[in-house]
Amino acid sequence: QVQVVESGGGSVQPGGSLRLSCAASGSIFSIRVMGWYRQAPGKQRELVALITIYGRTTHANSVKGRFTISRDNAKNTVFLQMNSLKPEDTAVYYCNAETTGGDYWGQGTQVTVSS
């Protein structure tokens, strides 16, 4: 099985930047895709970005050009670089690991964008 832990959240002003990190441990070779999701109060959890074991990436239209998902395979870590942050980016951000045996979620990290 896999454990994932997010870090890097915080409070920033509009236009600011944050970088989130997600460290995976356990049966890491079972991981096929890692992704970032976010959920604001009263809203559905939505996909932000994905990266596959082959390095292919997908970004939600709402964050294209502002957010970038990347990975450090040696450290079993994925990142989400968030630039030009907007108030509507405010949410709890969750890391997800999709494996051959199921999906695993981190505890979430809060991102707040406000003046």
Per-residue model confidence as pLDDT tens digits over 44-57: 999 999 999 999 99
The two tokens of residue 46 are 């939505």
Q: What confidence tens digit (pLDDT) does each residue in 64-74 have?
A: 999 999 999 88
The DSSP element (H or E) to which 104 belongs, if any, is: strand 102-105
pLDDT at 91: 98
DSSP track, 11-23? EE-TT--EEEEEE
pLDDT value at position 31?
A: 94
